[in-house]
Amino acid sequence: MRFLITGGAGFIGAALANRLAKEGHQVRVVDDLSAGDPSRLDSRVLFTRGDVRDVPKLWTLLQGVHCVYHLAARVSVPESILYPRDYNDVNVGGTVSVMEAVRDAGVKRIVLGSSGAVYGEQAEQPVSEKAIPNPRSPYAVSKIAAEYYVSTIGDLYGIETVILRIFNTYGPGQFVPASHAPVIPQFLKQALSGGSLVVFGDGNQTRDFVYIDDVVDALVAAAIARDVNRCIINVGSGQEVSINELVEKVARATGRDVSPLYSPAESGGVSRLVADISLARRKLGFSPKVNLDKGLKLTLALDPQFKSMAKSR
- Residue of 69, 87, 139, 149 with catalytic role: 139
Q: How far apart are CA 110 and CA 232, in angstroms?
A: 12
Cα distance between residue 84 and residue 80, in whole Å? 5
CB atoms within 10 A of CB 18: 19
CA distance to 135, 173, 302, per residue, from 258 (Å): 33, 23, 22
The yes-or-no answer on residue 157 being catalytic is: no
What count of residues does the chain have? 313
259: how many CB neighbours lie within 10 A of its CB? Answer: 11
Which residue, among 202, 104, 122, 203, has the nearest Cα to 165 in the 3D structure?
Answer: 122
- CA nearest to 288, candidates 210, 184, 172: 210
Instruction: Tell me 90's DSSP state.
Output: I
Angle (CA) 18-23-25 rounded to 5° is 85
- In DSSP notation, 109-168 reads EEEEEEEGGGG-S-SSSSBPTTSPP---SHHHHHHHHHHHHHHHHHHHHT-EEEEEEE-E
User: What's the CA gap between 309 and 226, in Å, rounded?
Assistant: 45
- Compute the half-sphere exposure of residue 154: CA atoms within 13 Å on the CB side of its CA: 25
Evaluate the CA torsion angle 217, 220, 225, 229 in order and state its sign.
positive
Catalytic residues: 139
